[in-house]
């Protein structure tokens, strides 16, 4: 059940400085995230998708303030996260958690699973010492692991089991929003399906909200309510799942969808192959970021930045950043 607005991102930017010369001065910037805005409502799953290097993972880290934003605002539960000091930010941490892509790299190898789960409870002072152990065992059972595994170390688990530990750690503080940063991309296909089903089950049981970051549109189709397509630091299209897969408007989105394999022998999908490579985020193209690879490019695309807008034949909330998408998609 979709509720009130939980997260609002306004004109968010993240530029990484490039230093050079004898004095190490800043000579340029990598524009990883460049002026993106979107919102997330309670109880829904919003997915950020795009090619590697488009800025989706950076956006997730900036929302959590694991990276400091260059400009823009992140409003979570009506509180401006970008203006909080360290003390108040720590208090907010329990409401926003993250599941990382590589569970082995994100879990302390010197701690047992029980210690990993108890540590968060101790830092946030959410449970007395005598109750932390029982809470850790309860979390393990919640994500499908056995209590007797609590005293094992991360290297004693398989990749899927370690990711379940990562999910348990994210759940330990009863968060409102969980950012899943490529949470299943490092797993085998069968294990990936199990983790996705677990995430959906936990969402129903604990009224969770997900910001799901992935490059795999097949995975995104399974778990999302709405999808945000990013390219080179900018948002190209926003739509609900059904509208995007059945009526994609932006040429870049259509190219991504055409690359999804069909799991049926003999069936083929007409491919839309893009020319060239993704430009550098250090010196992105002027105007539409996609114009250097777009098969429908016109002179205006090289000068003016397209704004997200809708058309009459699109579902409510379906927005596209393209000057000519109505002409491109007309019969």
Annotate 168-192 with DSSP letters as a single string.
HHHHTT--SEEEEESTTTTS-HHHH
Confidence of residue 268 (pLDDT cuts 50, 70, 90): low
Residue written as token pair 């704004």:
307
User: Region 139-146: what's the mean pLDDT?
Assistant: 91
CB count, 10 Å around CB of 123?
12
* Residue 131 pLDDT level (bands cut at 50, 70, 90): confident
Buried b or exposed e, range 295-305, using 16+ CB within 10 angstroms: eebeeebeeee
Give the separation between CA 175 and CA 159, rounded to whole angstroms. Answer: 24
CATH topology of domain 5-95+175-328: Rossmann fold (3.40.50)
The model's pTM: 0.91
Q: Delimit the CATH 3.40.50.300 region(s) of the chain.
A: 5-95+175-328
pLDDT confidence of residue 331: 61
Query: What average pLDDT score do residues 294-304 get?
Result: 91
The number of residues making up the chain comes to: 331
pLDDT band for 200, please (50, 70, 90 cuts): very high
pLDDT bracket for residue 264 (50, 70, 90): low
Element (H, E) at 160: helix 159-171
- pLDDT for residue 22: 75
Average pLDDT in the chain: 88
- With a pLDDT cut of 70, the percent of the chain lying above it is 96
Predicted local confidence at residue 267, as pLDDT: 65
Phi-psi region of 35 (alpha: psi -120 to 50; beta: other; left: phi over 0): left
Strand partners, 173: none
Helix (H, G, I), strand (E, B) or coil at 195: helix
């Amino acid at each position: 059940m979709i509720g009130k607005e939980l997260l609002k991102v306004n004109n968010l930017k993240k530029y990484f400085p490039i230093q050079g010369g004898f004095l190490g001065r800043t000579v340029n910037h990598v524009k990883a995230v460049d002026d993106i805005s979107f919102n997330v409502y309670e109880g829904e799953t919003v997915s950020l998708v795009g090619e590697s290097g488009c800025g989706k993972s950076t956006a997730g880290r900036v929302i959590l303030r694991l990276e400091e934003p260059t400009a823009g605002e992140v409003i979570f539960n009506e509180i401006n996260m970008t203006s909080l000091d360290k003390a108040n930010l720590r208090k907010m941490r329990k409401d926003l958690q993250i599941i990382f892509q590589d569970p082995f790299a994100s879990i302390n190898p010197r701690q047992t699973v029980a210690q990993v789960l108890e540590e968060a409870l101790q830092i946030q002072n959410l449970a007395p010492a005598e109750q932390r152990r029982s809470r850790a065992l309860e979390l393990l059972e919640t994500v499908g692991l056995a209590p007797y595994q609590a005293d094992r170390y991360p290297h004693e688990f398989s990749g899927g089991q370690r990711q379940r530990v990562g999910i348990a750690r994210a759940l330990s503080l009863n968060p409102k929003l969980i950012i899943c940063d490529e949470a299943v991309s490092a797993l085998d296909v069968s294990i990936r399906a199990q983790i996705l089903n677990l995430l959906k089950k936990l969402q129903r049981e604990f009224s969770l909200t997900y910001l799901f970051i992935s490059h795999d549109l097949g995975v995104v189709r399974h778990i999302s309510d709405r999808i945000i397509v990013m390219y080179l630091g900018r948002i190209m299209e926003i739509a609900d799942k059904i509208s995007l897969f059945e009526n994609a408007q932006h040429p870049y989105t259509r190219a991504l969808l055409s690359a999804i394999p069909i799991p049926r022998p003999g069936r083929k999908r007409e491919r839309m192959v893009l020319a060239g490579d993704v430009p550098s985020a250090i010196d992105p193209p002027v105007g539409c970021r996609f114009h250097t690879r777009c098969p429908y490019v016109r002179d205006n695309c090289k000068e003016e930045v397209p704004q997200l807008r809708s058309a009459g034949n699109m579902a409510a909330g379906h927005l596209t950043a393209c000057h000519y998408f109505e002409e491109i998609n007309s019969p």
